[in-house]
Amino acid sequence: MDTIDIENRLGLTFCDRLELAFTHGNGSRVWDEAGKEYLDFTSGWGVTCLGHNHPAITRAITEQAGRIIQSPNAGFTYSPSRAALLAALANVLPANIARTFFCNSGAEANDAALKLARKITGRTKIISTLGGFHGRTFNTLAVTRSMENAGRYVPKQESTVFVPFGDRDAMTRAIDANTAAVIIEPIQGEGGVQVAPEGYLEHIQSLCHEHGVMFIVDEIQTGFCRTGKFFALEHASAIEPDFLTMGKGIAGGFPFAAFAVSAAVSQKLEKDDHGGTYCGNPLGCAISHAVVTCLQELNVAERVAEKGQLLQAKLLALKAVFPNSISEIRGKGLIWAIACRDPDLTRPLTLACAEAGLLVVPTRGGVIRLLPDLLVSEADVERAIEILTGVFADI
């Protein structure tokens, strides 16, 4: 069977693919159909937080699948695995968070948060940031990247306003009496790993409280220890979101997500305000519980902070060797961007890295994104830098 040929003939895709088909993985490594080994610094776009084929995840899948995968009447009934996950998350979520709802994807979590924020406030305007990414559903596309991007799909949502990321004055001017919510990533992932300036989240929260606006913090890419804290908002001071959206690393590779709300928001929600067939199905909850447990028991946040410092130092040294090619190194923990001076370098760099055995994430704006799994070894960090050094030297 020719995997690539079949997919090209019969599959529907909306992107340029790498001519690679992977059969299996272990830890930070994966192997293609030809048996070639690669170092994976993409984590499936930040998803496989514990690496590939982690025994805790395999065990959770096997044990739960042997019991029940989907509950009768779905969300109309209770689930022991859902209850266990809710209890585990209560230990790591912000103190003001009261209730959590599980769903299928980060886009779905953000979509629900936007919908419920409008319902609660009775307002329509949503403020997002230029370069932000919140999903590909119709509602989340309207708050993703820019009005130019949102305008590709009709009808346009004219009530959406975009402001520059990190610009306090622009945010202050944008909020008014018709604003339902502000949605923000602590670190823009798809936007090129743009880290929120010090005090920025606190400023937005203050504005939201002043004007009765819902504060939505999108931790889909940054949550679950990716930045060296369990949630990236912990790098700021006393952040208490009205909505917190989660995904990607929440279940280590299984399609799963969630949004959580404060006690004040919870009191304003009513029956039939939201729902879903897979609203915390037993299999997804069991896998997520295994991931959350591992992250805590292995002190992964601390390990990520240490590895992040190492990776940062190595990347800054790489920039010093190739100052004419690399304009900036940005990131925190184990989410990093190599910003190229020539945006056209992204594709050839990605292909050359893959040829040399390193998988990286090509990102808009001339950025190569590095998202290794959170258990990546120091030796693998060193190896990745060796490959990057050779690739930049060649190109």
Residue 382 has pLDDT above 80, yes or no: yes
Q: What is the mean pLDDT of residues 215-241?
A: 97
Q: What is the mean pLDDT of residues 280-303?
A: 97
- Give the pTM: 0.96
Q: For 129-144, b where at least 16 C-beta lie within 10 A, e where not — what string?
A: bbbbbbbebebbbbbb
315: part of which helix (H) or strand (E)? helix 300-321
Query: d(Cα 288, Cα 213) in Å, to the nearest integer?
Result: 31
| pLDDT of res. 150 | 67
CB 186 within 8 A of CB 222: yes
What whole-number percentage of the chain has pLDDT above 70? Answer: 97
Query: d(Cα 120, Cα 143) in Å, to the nearest integer?
Result: 19
Sheet order of strands, 358-359 included: 22-26, 29-32, 37-40, 358-359
CB 94 within 8 A of CB 240: yes
Q: Please state which architecture CATH assigns to domain 3-54+299-394.
A: Alpha-Beta Complex (3.90)
Question: Which positions ≥6 away from 344 have C-beta within 8 Å?
Answer: 366
Residue 90 CA to chain centroid, in angstroms?
A: 20
Q: Domains of the chain: which residue ranges?
A: 3-54+299-394, 57-297
Q: Please state which architecture CATH assigns to domain 57-297.
A: 3-Layer(aba) Sandwich (3.40)
| pLDDT of res. 130 | 95
pLDDT in tens, 210-224: 999 999 999 999 999
pLDDT in tens, 312-346: 999 999 999 999 999 999 999 999 999 999 999 99
**What is the pLDDT of the chain when averaged over all its residues?**
95
| pLDDT of res. 5 | 87
Query: 3-class SS at 84?
Result: helix
| pLDDT of res. 154 | 57
